[in-house]
Amino acid sequence: MKMQNDIQTLSLPVLGMTCAACANSVESMIGAQQGVEKAEVNYATQTVKVSYHPEQVQPTAFQKAVQSIGYDLIMDTESGKKKQEEVQQKNYSSLKKRMIASGILTLPVVAIGMFFMDIQYANYYMLALTTPVLFIFGKSFFVNALKQARHGRANMDTLVALSTGIAYFFSLFNTLYPEFWHQRGLHPHVYYEAAAVVIVFIMLGKLLEERAKSNTSSAIKKLIGLQPKTVLIIAENGEKEIPLSDISIGDKILVRSGEKIPVDGEIYEGTSYVDESMISGEPVAVSKNIGDQVFAGTINQKGSFRFVAQKVGGETMLAQIIKMVQDAQGSKAPVQKLVDKIAGIFVPIVIGIALLTLVIWILVGGENALTQGMLAMVTVLVIACPCALGLATPTAIMVGVGKGAENGILIKDAEALELGHKVNAVVLDKTGTLTKGKPEVTELNWQNVTDIDKQKLIGILFALEQQSEHPLAEAIVRHLQTGNVNPVKVTGFESLTGKGVQATFEGQRYWAGSHKILKDSGIEIEGNLEKSVTRLQEQAKTVIYFTDENKVLATIAIADQVKEGSARAVSELLKRNIVVYMLTGDNGQTAAAVAKQVGIKDFRAEVLPSDKADFVKELQSQGKIVAMIGDGINDSHALAQADVSIAMGKGSDIAIDVAKITLVSSDLLQVPKALRLSKLTVRTVRQNLFWAFIYNLIGIPIAAGILYPLNGFLLNPMIAGAAMALSSVSVVSNSLRLKFSKLI
């Protein structure tokens, strides 16, 4: 909770929202309360953010307001999200059971209605089976419709309740009093199967949506999990273990090898290498000495040190990253699905047309006007039932998500598919996205060394690097292990901070490290060797020298190599008129080399996580639809901010959780495929909506009796039910066509 002057801001989880219209209802009900300055409902995160005057209104009033229209708020600000997840999971399980039970009862109703209408007591069998489908398993549709009606509102539940309710009670009347119609020369048709099938199909659509909502993101929980629960502080009477929450600024903290750093601070004793990839995204651990800064959530790799706490609690960089991810997720506009927008207008119009049909028939229908009018009204409501409308989006999304999974593209929700085809700017992280994210030896060049000497020297180099704590040493060890290595035993091993390592073998001193080693040893670099080193450095490779007391024996080039498909993927995006940017925490020289290698002209180097998110915001302010592609914790804020977020499958759990799309193979060539899939899926949704409405546009006027004055034709409600079913079949069939589409 935040406070500004006399205004408080509270964020609460919302329960029961199933469409964008629901979000609007919750927002307007809370916004209408006296003392509320502003209410913003985020349908994507299922939360409401309320700014209010506490002296005029209390949060319990918000809960009562939304409860009156069928929704609820979780008032527990501490564990509200957890409770919301539990409720959503419970709702999903309940809905699944109700749908299965409804389906079991509906199958015989359809069979009787379609093929066995002439058996004795057929109507009573269907009545007995349909009643629990509507009023036990489908009760929520009627309850929600009534609550909406009390406040003069209508949503999809309203149309479902009206159409199925009228079809049911009309059929019930015809079952109990068939002679009413017989006396007027008409057959008493029943429409139990239409009512039951509608409930089952709409439940199926809701189940698909509920499943997506129940899988809520655990990114924030995992980020919080980066902090250790207890900390070892150095007190006057020795070392003492205390809870993380008890740390104060100025406390002296001990961090051993392999431990997570609990808070931000400055080292005052010891040296080590710290994995700061969560902040910089770079795979190489950073050397830390006295006076250097360390950050919460980063991992101490080798060595131990002591530091003074400078930022604790919500002030640490990790806490800021957590807050930024939360803010970016919460600032997204509610998902305005096309079907919900149309339904908001469609529902009251259909109800109006049905009532108008009855009135016109009563006024000008002549003999049996009331009878014909009732039939026409029911027919309008049955043919206009939103079954196909309810299936249009979820079926296309379900097939689209399945198609993506087949191609190694995991899609978290419909929003990414809805927006993907509009993307016109792609922002790429470098390390782990364009590159492999792991330093590798690219060249090992020996300098005037015989094959016999080389075998001995490989063993010495292996022994030196095996004992080194430097992260790049691991890359050299891995490379040497792939060949024929005969390790030797060296003596007098010593690590030279910031320079390299040295040791003795058979009375001769050997060194491995940076160019500083050469300076200290007084070794000159020959012209050809200098040219070779310059060439490697221009390619953004780190050069390690291996020397004895007199000369350079070998140079080792190490680099984070570009993935094979990166250049082609960038080329594919550029062909589609998508602007491609690269952002990295690495230095300018490395960034320029990688950008040139993959064909990216616009790049930024030495950027922090917040800089990446700000860059995405800047592009969005220019009207661009931005896709962010990354793999690290440091990318999570920018991923949350982007319109479409894509994570590498081999990246961090945090990035994968925040992103709406994950590429299992971490192959950038999947990105153009994902954007193509979005285009195909959105096109399928639009086609589905066309088929869902074409029946209504043609069928509703015919159902209302527009042809009756011309040729005496009045649409039978049974035919209307069949047309409604046909619209559903066409929608599902069209969605299944997506399975056979090509993504390249």
Q: 264, 413, 429, 631: which is the annotated catalytic residue?
A: 429
Question: Helix 471-481 and helix 451-467: axis angle, to 10°?
Answer: 140
* Beta-strand pair 644-648/661-663: parallel
User: Residue 16: which of 91, 95, 102, 75 has the closest Cα?
Assistant: 91
As a three-state string, the secondary structure of 564-625 is CCHHHHHHHHHHCCCEEEEECCCCHHHHHHHHHHHCCCEEECCCCHHHHHHHHHHHHHCCCC
Interior angle at CA 700, CA 699 and CA 706, nearest 5: 95
* Beta-strand pair 238-243/230-235: antiparallel
Alpha-carbon distance of 641 to 631, in angstroms, equals 15
Task: Provide the 8-state DSSP code for 334.
Answer: P
Alpha-carbon distance of 709 to 707, in angstroms, equals 6
Q: 1 is written with which tokens?
A: 């909770």
Please report the DSSP string for 429-489 in residue order: EIIIIIEEEEEEEEEEEE-S--HHHHHHHHHHHHHHHHH---HHHHHHHHHHHTS------
> Is 631 an annotated catalytic residue?
no
Residues near 475 by beta carbon (within 8 Å), at least 6 away in sequence: 438, 439, 440, 441, 558
Where b means 16+ CB within 10 Å and e means fewer, 496-529 reads eeebbbbbebeeeebbbbbeebbeebebebeeeb
Cβ-based burial of 43 (10 A; exposed 0-12, middle 13-18, buried ≥19): buried
User: Residue 679: which of 723, 605, 742 has the closest Cα?
Assistant: 742
Catalytic residues: 429
